Amino acid sequence: MTYQDYLVLDVHGHVSVPPAANNMVVQMLGSNQPMPSNVGQSVTPGKGPTEADFRATAQGHVDYLDARNIDVQVIGPRPFLQFGWMEPHITPGWAAYVNDMIAQQVSFFPDRFVGAAQLPMHVEHADTKHVLKELDRCVNELGFAAAYLSPDVSGTRLQPGLDDHWFDDLYEACEGYDIPLIVHGTNTLDPRFRGVPMNYQLAFLTEQYLAGQFLSHGDVFERFPKLRVIICHCGGALDRFIPTDKHIAQKDLSENLFYDSCGYDLDFLEAALKQRGVNRVVFGTEAPGSGGAVRPETGRTSDDLVPVLDSFAWLTDADRRAIFHDNPLKVVPGFKTAMKEA
């Protein structure tokens, strides 16, 4: 399965697990104790999902990608299930369990999935050294090719901005591992948002846009020139200023700061592609995820984005190849491992 003569590479996906698999976090929160990961171990019948249950769920994910002409996808944590507001002594156990589930799904279909880590990040720490042990395990033991980074993991807006030196240890590590960071919002505890259904989506928009502002105006990429960052959902929101305005960082960030194509409204997506520039857009769909609404005019779900980009007549064939294949491969070199398995 290819688009024209190349593979479609999707940078924005999340692990798919049987619903009962997430009972682990309920047990951790209820007991206020971390628990060791049991992914891949034998399970007493009736006491939890089996390997067959995990495999069946992963197969459903593959079938979903097949129907949308997606060949390989980066899968990370479900952002709204990261629970970054939990007690700091529980966070590492939950992250390790989620990462083991991600690794298991990759192992089932190594030609279709690439792993991205959930970091056990907590705002109470003085810096990001506390995430490095799990990051190292994910890269060197589990073979992950990226890591997820929340711009406000606790949902309290107490976390430093992504241009802050608080992140230096993480940035240095990712630069050394040659893996990108995928910036994706998580939860919100803002009481103003409570009346909005699925209000974490508001946090995605605001925090991802702020992340782009902080990273572009700050000196992160001057200090870490080989660091690559992808901001999800086209960056959350668009800039309202013209490119030469001083409100826009007057820097060449084409080797460092990228945006995925995970925007479902056609007008928004077209504007995002034009504003960000084809050279800084990497294909992303979040399929399956929040794009399940069906477009009345096509009968296809809104996360079926290959035909959408195919319909944008102003994109050239070279543009589409850049977005679907060349740019994702440049930003996430770990795609090569899955492509060798194909």
State the CATH number of the domain containing residue 266: 3.20.20.140
The pLDDT value given to residue 1 = 56
3 located within any domain: no
- Write the DSSP string, 228-248: -EEESGGGSS---S-TTSTTS
262 located within any domain: yes
2 located within any domain: no
Task: From residue 171, give the alpha-carbon distance in Å to each of 139, 216, 288.
Answer: 14, 15, 29
Number of domains composing the chain: 1
Residue 14 bridge partners (DSSP) = 76
Lowest mean pLDDT among 146-150, 199-203, 255-259: 199-203
Write out pLDDT tens, residues 3-55: 789 999 999 999 999 999 998 898 999 899 988 988 877 666 566 789 999 99
323 located within any domain: yes
Q: 342 falls in which pLDDT band (50, 70, 90)? A: low
Per cent of the chain over pLDDT 90 is 89
4 located within any domain: no
The pLDDT value given to residue 341 = 78
The pLDDT value given to residue 46 = 60
319 located within any domain: yes
The pLDDT value given to residue 3 = 76
pLDDT over threshold 90, residue 234: yes
Q: Residues 308, 88: contact at Cβ < 8 Å?
A: no
Per cent of the chain over pLDDT 70 is 97
β strands within the chain, DSSP E: 9-14, 72-76, 113-117, 146-149, 181-183, 229-231, 257-260, 281-282
72 located within any domain: yes
Q: Give the C-alpha separation, 72 to 64, whole Å.
A: 12
Identify the CA nearest to 98 among candidates 15, 204, 183. 15
Mean pLDDT of the residues in the chain: 95
pTM summary value: 0.96
Q: What is the mean pLDDT of residues 106-113?
A: 98
The pLDDT value given to residue 43 = 61
The pLDDT value given to residue 48 = 74
What domain range is 245 assigned to? 9-341
Write out pLDDT tens, residues 136-161: 999 999 999 999 999 999 999 999 99
| Distance between first and last Cα of the chain | 10
1 located within any domain: no
Q: Give the C-alpha separation, 228 to 169, whole Å.
A: 15
